[in-house]
Amino acid sequence: MQRLLEGNWRYRSDRMTRPNQGAKSRLETATAQHPMAAVLTCSDSRLIMESIFDCGVGNLFVCRIAGNFADDSVVGSLEFAVQELGVRLLLVVGHERCGAITAALNDVRPPGQIERLVAYARPAVELARGRPGELLDNAVRANIELTVQALREAKPVLSSSYDSGSIVIRGAYYHLVSGEIEIMHF
């Protein structure tokens, strides 16, 4: 977490060092990877994890899905990161003005599989409606919270690792303009 936050500080203060991005890093990681964290985040084009955390090849195991929801394939991917790659930190990164959450707020009925994504966002919207403050922002934050909770309770792999204290699962909110990763407390 400390390395991630230091990288984010370099990113948001325009002091990026862009480590581990050359041929040497590709060679070193070609036969084995030891990422320092797994990150579940949104597909949004503005959320480039290796930039936001100023790191490179082999550093992050990233799952991206619009709305950063913990669907079955995402949970499976994170289980792989924990069991096979020995990842000890799972970070859920949601963000300001997320389109998936906005769609659920506006109660749109989109075609195709988009509806499935909107359905994932509805519990967060419901939770946010009872909270004081700006609704979209509250829903984004509630969605991060619910996703973290779902991962902590995902049986049997993530839940047992989390309960025994061998992995940490945290949520973070990304600010689009400042580039700040705000670690959430729950």
Interacting residues with Zn ion (CB under 5 A): 42, 44, 98
- The distance of closest approach from Cβ of residue 134 to Zn ion in the complex, given in angstroms and rounded to an integer, is 16
Identify which of residues 42 and 158 has a Cβ nearer to Zn ion in the complex. Answer: 42
Residues 6+ apart with CB under 8 A from 146: 123, 124, 127
Helices first, then strands: H and E counts in the chain: 8, 5
- The distance of closest approach from Cβ of residue 46 to Zn ion in the complex, given in angstroms and rounded to an integer, is 9
Residue with tokens 């619910």: 146
Identify which of residues 44 and 54 has a Cβ nearer to Zn ion in the complex. Answer: 44
The candidate with the shortest Cα–Cα distance to 104, out of 116, 87, 114, 119, is 119
Dist CA 35 CA 87 (whole Å): 7
Dist CA 83 CA 78 (whole Å): 9
CB-based burial of residue 167 (10 Å sphere; 0-12 exposed, 13-18 middle, 19+ buried)? Answer: buried
Identify which of residues 28 and 182 has a Cβ nearer to Zn ion in the complex. Answer: 182
Identify which of residues 75 and 103 has a Cβ nearer to Zn ion in the complex. Answer: 103
Q: Radius of gyration of the chain from Cα atoms?
A: 17
- The distance of closest approach from Cβ of residue 139 to Zn ion in the complex, given in angstroms and rounded to an integer, is 12
- The distance of closest approach from Cβ of residue 84 to Zn ion in the complex, given in angstroms and rounded to an integer, is 28
Identify which of residues 103 and 150 has a Cβ nearer to Zn ion in the complex. Answer: 103
Identify which of residues 69 and 162 has a Cβ nearer to Zn ion in the complex. Answer: 69
- The distance of closest approach from Cβ of residue 43 to Zn ion in the complex, given in angstroms and rounded to an integer, is 7
Within 10 angstroms of residue 14's Cβ, the number of other Cβ atoms is: 7
Angle in degrees, CA 77, 83, 88, rounded to 5 = 90
- The distance of closest approach from Cβ of residue 128 to Zn ion in the complex, given in angstroms and rounded to an integer, is 15
